[in-house]
């Protein structure tokens, strides 16, 4: 196991470096000047001299060619210095860390809700394949896959906030109120929007695996021995459906950081989404790199954890790896 | 078995916590817009015509509200007005940090400053502060703070936004303290716009920064360092900026208890929040929104000139325009009224006639702009060889109504047998492409701020300061220089009228529209009609709820 973990960590480090170089190159070679805020009359009232601009470039690490700037950035990153935002000259790390819990909370709740809803629905659909139950659940899941998050979010706001007055339309907190219940209340609608698509996808996977597993001999044996169907589903079939779910959850880990951009905008949720969109529009490359690399780390860790959990979910996988590693 | 039971209980707890807020009333929201979701929901349920009811009752619940809640796309990242360059950020810090004074077309309104006298040679500006000024922490505002603020702007590494108060071109302005309330600013060469420029300066306290001008990452930026009628109550970066009235304000006492800038970035969500009573100010993002609220009960639509000019320009590096008749052909082919009506609608913009905006100190509305003459345009297009050609038009996608305008121009130029290829570019890339010497496109659509004194941004647009791609003649440049050096306002008026006319005669650019800034407030908000300039509001003490 330790050999496996060591190997994966090295792989992750290599992937991380390649992603950082790729992301950096895209930003570096995209048109536009990171100091656009100071060179555009639309934003700045004073035209800085070339010397002044050069001084500012130096203080923000924007001098040198692509390789020099990358190495400069990477060196600082390794020491925990994520640089200063080009837009507001504030530390990137602090700004990201301030917003990160808000996004993780939202996405984490959405992911959890998706899994909780998808498991019973997928099992149900798979158990009653081509029956009306399956048709309804499948129909809803197709709808969930197709619904645009932006539109669905606005619809929920109109119905549940404007018409019914059950939930606030935006924000994470009510001004002047400092309670977890208030935050949860603000989070209900965005979490629903975020979970719809994932739930629909997970339902399809679980349904498909359930149908596959139901054909297996152990299931027929258990049923013929008189084991209640629901027990067969949850004690035996579900375990074997877990592998693809673990894969999907692991792959969705990266979305903990990046999956809520649109929904955060619709609901005014103060997370990384808005921070990243502003950074992209203003070519704030230090902020873009900070968020991109954070998303990369989270994705890599998610996949790593998924691989580890595989071993626990299916001992055959663990035994196979042990044989491979000697 | 035990594990299963625990697992099921955990799932149930999770589901319960997610639905924790279902059905509860919005009483905790009452200190924001004075509106609860309950009352909004009840009112809507009682009315059969839901669509009309939503609009008619928008803001109606705001009577007696003690908070002005304004939606913004993002909060400022810190509370230092020197470090805020975006218009929305400036709006948020406006009630929090006063300017020295404001020079308008009609008058000069003094805030922190008591006076600002200009010497006869136009080089020395004597700024005197009022003597009862206090920072929000209770300390007195003095000339030392003026000096410190100027020092911070000299340090351009800060990215401070008032560098034009301490530099004229590349030369630094000299400033010295005369007494505790007076500072002399001596500029290197006459600049008539400096009076207006200096007035915009917002001060920061020297004592909060320990006199250290390296302010970019200072911790003091997140403390209350304001001087305006509202002080900091709560700042949640990315969520809301809550300001409450400052009891020791030197001027008229604020009549509204608090001003809240709440992040709601999506315009549709803002509209819902306004109808829901969660906010009582709504920027009208489109003509449809403006029209909807024009006659809505309980709401009032306000329209202000935004002080910007939307224009079409020709690329001076492109060979297509070697024959000036080609430019004249394009300008004669355009139906400006149709463009403005089609792109801006009835509320969001008016016809432009000059390169100065209608909010500019020396705007002349008697200048005649370009009129459509399709027959003449066809003739000119044939003569110049433009007819039958395909030309490229770039537009800035980050600016409103650019795409709509571009599409209409494309349609109108078809009438004179000119095909137009459209290419939208985001702002950052747009400046990289358009404001260089690239010759592979013919036209571009853009806009600029032209509020206040023409010698500030407008001159810079046309005299090469910003590297903007326009073919300004020496005569126009001379007129800008003359206007800069003349201190007599009447004389300047004559100069700038001549300049605006010359720009039209020389087909410098085609000014298309002066955009409006439209916003909706609940009709209980008084005082909003006093203001004619953006960003709103210049003086929050004039606002109240009836």
Mean pLDDT (10-residue bins), chain A, 326 residues: 81 90 85 68 64 76 83 87 82 90 90 90 88 92 90 92 89 86 94 91 89 81 80 75 74 72 86 84 83 87 78 61 54
Q: Strand, helix or coil at B383? A: helix
Measured over the CA atoms of residue B356, residue B358, residue B360 and residue B365, the dihedral's sign is positive
Residues B215 and B209: beta-carbon distance below 8 Å: yes
Residue A46's pLDDT is 63
pLDDT of A276 reads 86
Find the CB nearest B432 among A31, A164, A167.
A31
Residue B102 contacts residue B199 (beta carbons within 8 Å): yes
Residues of chain A with Cβ-Cβ distance to B37 below 8 Å are: 161, 165-168
Q: Omega before A325 cis (within 30°)? A: no
pLDDT number for residue B44: 37
- Which pTM value belongs to this model? 0.80
Q: Could you state, in order of their start, the residue ranges of all structural domains in chain A? A: 12-78, 99-325
**Residue A260's pLDDT is what?**
79
State residue A177's pLDDT score: 84
Level-2 CATH architecture, domain A99-325: Orthogonal Bundle (1.10)
Tell me what pLDDT residue B173 has.
96
Mean pLDDT by 10 residues, chain B (546 residues): 56 47 32 34 36 41 67 88 85 95 88 95 95 95 97 82 84 95 95 90 95 88 93 90 95 95 88 89 91 90 91 95 96 97 94 94 94 96 96 93 96 96 89 84 93 85 84 95 89 96 97 94 87 78 91
Residue A186: its chain B contacts at CB < 8 A?
Answer: 21
Other beta carbons within 10 angstroms of residue B373's beta carbon come to: 14
Q: What is the pLDDT of residue B336?
A: 97
Q: Pick A175's closest partner by Cβ from B32, B265, B465.
A: B32
Which residues of chain B are within 8 Å of residue A270 when distances are taken between CB atoms?
236-239, 263
Print the SS3 string covering B290-309: HHHHHCCCCEEEEEEECCEE
Torsion-angle region of A130 (φ positive above 0: left; ψ -120 to 50: alpha; else: beta):
left
| Cβ within 8 Å, pair A154-B269 | yes
Show the beta-strand stretches assigned E in B373-442. 390-396, 419-425
Q: Please give the Cα distance from B498 to B459 (Å, whole number).
A: 14
* A268 contact residues in B (CB cutoff 8 A): 262-266, 269
Q: Which of residues 257-296 of A touch B (CB under 8 A)?
A: 265-268, 270-271, 274-275, 278, 281-283
Of B156, B239, B269, Cβ closest to residue A172: B239
* Confidence (pLDDT) at A245: 76
- Between chain A and chain B, the number of residue pairs with CB atoms below 8 A apart is 226
Under a CB-based contact definition with an 8 Å cutoff, are residues B483 and B495 in contact? yes
Provide the β-strand partners of residue B350: B514
> Which of B64, B240, B246 lies closest to A178 in space, CA to CA?
B240
Give the H or E element holding residue A200.
helix A180-214
- Helical packing angle, B336-344 and B402-414, nearest 10°: 140
For B378-385, the CB contacts below 8 A with 24+ separation are B378/B329, B378/B333, B378/B415, B378/B416, B378/B417, B380/B325, B380/B326, B380/B328, B380/B329, B380/B332, B381/B326, B381/B329, B381/B333, B381/B416, B381/B417, B381/B418, B383/B323, B383/B325, B384/B323, B384/B325, B384/B326, B384/B329, B385/B323, B385/B326
Nearest CB to A173: which of B41, B239, B425? B239
* Of the candidates B414, B420, B405, B447, the residue with the CA atom closest to the CA atom of residue B333: B414
CB B63, CB B524: distance < 8 Å: yes
Q: Which residues of B219-246 are buried (b: 16+ CB within 10 A; e: fewer)?
A: ebbebbbbbbbbbbbebbbbbbbbbbbb
ipTM exceeds 0.90, yes or no: no
Q: How close, in Å, is residue B249 to chain A by CA atoms? A: 24
The secondary structure of residue A91, as a DSSP letter, is B
The DSSP bridge pattern shows strands B101-103 and B108-110 to be antiparallel
Q: How far apart are CA B470 and CA B473, in angstroms?
A: 9
**Interchain CB contact of A30 with B (< 8 Å):** yes
């Amino acid at each position: 196991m330790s050999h496996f973990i060591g190997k994966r960590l090295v792989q992750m480090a290599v992937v991380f470096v390649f992603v950082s170089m790729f992301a950096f190159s895209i930003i570096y070679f995209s048109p536009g000047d990171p100091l656009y805020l100071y060179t555009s009359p639309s934003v700045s009232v004073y035209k800085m001299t070339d010397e002044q601009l050069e001084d500012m470039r130096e203080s923000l690490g924007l001098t040198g060619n692509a390789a020099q700037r990358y190495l400069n950035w990477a060196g600082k990153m390794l020491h925990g210095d994520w640089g200063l935002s080009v837009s507001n000259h504030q530390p990137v790390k602090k700004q990201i860390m301030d917003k990160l819990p808000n996004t993780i909370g939202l996405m984490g709740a959405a992911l959890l809700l998706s899994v909780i809803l998808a498991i019973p629905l997928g099992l149900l659909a798979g158990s009653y394949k081509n029956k009306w139950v399956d048709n309804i659940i499948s129909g809803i899941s197709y709808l969930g896959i197709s619904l645009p998050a932006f539109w669905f979010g606005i619809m929920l706001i109109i119905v549940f906030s404007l018409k019914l007055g059950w939930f606030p339309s935006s924000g994470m907190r009510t001004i002047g109120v400092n309670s977890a219940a208030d935050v949860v209340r603000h989070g209900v609608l965005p979490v629903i929007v975020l979970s719809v698509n994932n739930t629909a996808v997970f339902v399809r996977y679980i349904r498909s695996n359930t149908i596959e597993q139901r054909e297996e001999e152990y299931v027929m044996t258990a049923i013929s021995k008189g084991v209640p169907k629901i027990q067969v589903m949850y004690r035996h079939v579900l375990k074997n459906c877990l592998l693809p779910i673990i894969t999907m959850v692991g792959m969705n880990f990266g979305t903990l950081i990046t999956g809520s951009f649109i929904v955060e905008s619709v609901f005014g949720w103060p997370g990384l989404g808005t921070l990243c969109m502003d950074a992209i529009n203003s070519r704030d490359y230090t902020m873009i790199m900070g968020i991109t690399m954070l998303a990369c780390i989270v994705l890599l860790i998610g996949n790593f954890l998924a691989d580890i959990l595989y071993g626990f979910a299916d001992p055959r996988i663990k035994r196979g790896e042990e044989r491979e590693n000697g | 078995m035990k594990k299963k039971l625990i697992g099921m209980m955990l799932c149930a707890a999770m589901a319960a916590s997610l639905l924790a807020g279902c059905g509860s009333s919005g009483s905790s929201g009452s200190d924001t817009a004075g509106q609860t979701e309950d009352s909004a929901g009840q009112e809507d349920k009682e009315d059969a015509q839901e669509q009309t009811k939503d609009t008619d009752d928008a803001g109606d619940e705001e009577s007696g509200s003690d908070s002005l809640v304004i939606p913004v796309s993002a909060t400022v990242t810190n509370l230092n007005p020197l470090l805020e360059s975006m218009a929305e950020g400036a709006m948020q810090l406006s009630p929090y940090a006063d300017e020295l004074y404001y020079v308008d077309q009609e008058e000069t309104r003094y805030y922190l400053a008591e006076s600002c006298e200009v010497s006869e040679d136009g080089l020395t500006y004597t700024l005197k502060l009022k003597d009862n000024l206090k920072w929000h922490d209770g300390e007195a505002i003095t000339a030392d703070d003026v000096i410190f603020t100027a020092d911070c702007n000299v340090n351009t590494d800060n990215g401070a936004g008032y560098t034009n108060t301490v530099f004229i071109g590349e030369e630094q302005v000299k400033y010295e303290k005369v007494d505790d309330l007076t500072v002399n600013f001596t500029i290197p060469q006459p600049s008539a716009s400096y009076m207006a420029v200096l007035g915009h300066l917002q001060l920061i306290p020297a004592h909060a920064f320990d006199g250290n001008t390296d302010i970019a990452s200072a911790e003091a930026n997140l403390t209350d360092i304001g001087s305006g009628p509202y002080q900091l109550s709560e700042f949640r970066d990315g969520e809301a900026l809550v300001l409450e009235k400052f009891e020791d304000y030197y001027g008229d006492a604020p009549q509204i208890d608090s001003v809240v800038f709440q992040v709601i970035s999506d315009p549709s969500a803002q509209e819902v929040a306004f109808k829901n009573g969660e906010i009582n100010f709504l920027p009208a993002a489109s003509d449809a929104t403006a029209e909807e609220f024009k006659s809505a009960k309980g709401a009032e639509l306000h329209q202000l000139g935004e002080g910007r000019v939307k224009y079409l320009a020709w690329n001076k590096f492109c060979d297509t325009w070697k024959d000036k008749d080609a430019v004249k052909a394009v300008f004669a082919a355009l139906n400006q009224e149709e463009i403005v009506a089609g792109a801006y609608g009835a509320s969001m913009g008016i016809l432009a006639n000059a390169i100065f905006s209608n909010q500019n100190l020396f705007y002349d509305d008697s200048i005649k702009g370009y009129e459509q003459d399709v027959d003449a345009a066809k003739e000119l297009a044939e003569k110049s060889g433009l007819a039958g050609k395909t030309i490229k038009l770039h537009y800035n996608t980050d600016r409103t109504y650019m795409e709509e305008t571009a599409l209409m121009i494309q349609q109108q130029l078809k009438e004179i047998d000119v095909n137009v290829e459209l290419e939208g570019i985001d702002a950052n890339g747009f400046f990289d492409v358009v404001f260089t010497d690239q010759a592979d496109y013919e036209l571009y659509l853009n806009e600029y701020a032209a509020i206040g004194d023409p010698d500030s941004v407008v001159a810079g647009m046309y005299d090469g300061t910003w590297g903007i791609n326009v073919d300004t003649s020496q005569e126009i440049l001379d007129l800008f220089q003359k206007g800069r050096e003349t201190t007599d306002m009447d004389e300047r008026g004559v100069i700038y009228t001549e300049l605006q006319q010359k720009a039209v005669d020389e087909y410098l650019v085609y000014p298309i529209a002066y955009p409006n800034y439209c916003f909706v407030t609940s009709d209980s908000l008084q005082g909003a009609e006093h203001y004619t300039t953006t960003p709103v509001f210049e003086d929050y003490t004039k606002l109240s709820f009836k």
